Amino acid sequence: MDIAENIKNIREEKSLKQIEVATHIGVDKSAYSKIEKGIRAISVEELYKMAQLFNLTTDDILNYDGKIPKEVIIEDKTVIEQMRLIQQLDEEDKSTIMKIIDKMLTTKKFKDFFNKNVATL
């Protein structure tokens, strides 16, 4: 599939009209129609705006395989699956998650220590 087909298929799956997408990305309906037909190239900025509207990444649009990725809900996963998903993140995001986990563990240890020691008073 090419990007024009991908865009059309995603728009239809999202139940959006051409005019709605055209308005969001800042082109008229005629220009948008040409994008879907592959007659007019889409700019990077237009693709980015379209990705925002579709709630997808630009990569999802470019590599669309006929189905929109479903939301990942980490609570429904095993611990091993959760860690595998975290490992797929970029380094900055992994670091942020690990800092949050460290902070929560430190807070829990402090609370446990405090509750244990207050009980002995």
Do 111 and 80 belong to one domain?
yes
pLDDT of residue 68: 66
Q: How many domains does the chain have?
A: 2
Do 78 and 50 belong to one domain?
no
pLDDT digits (tens, 9 = 90+) for 80-101: 888 888 888 899 999 999 999 9
pLDDT digits (tens, 9 = 90+) for 25-69: 999 999 999 999 999 999 999 999 999 999 888 888 888 887 765
Do 55 and 16 belong to one domain?
yes
| Residue ranges making up the domain that contains 9 | 3-62
**What confidence tier does 109 reach under pLDDT thresholds 50, 70, 90?**
very high
Domain finish residue from 25, 42, 62: 62
Phi, psi dihedrals of residue 65, rounded to the nearest 5°: -115, 20
Separation between Cα atoms, residue 34 and residue 22, nearest integer Å: 11
Do 12 and 43 belong to one domain?
yes
Please determine, for residue 71, whether its predicted confidence score (pLDDT) is greater than 70.
no
Q: What is the mean pLDDT of the chain?
A: 88
Domain finish residue from 62, 95, 111: 62
pLDDT of residue 115: 87
Separation between Cα atoms, residue 22 and residue 101, nearest integer Å: 42
Q: Look up the CATH number of the domain holding residue 54.
A: 1.10.260.40
Do 58 and 79 belong to one domain?
no
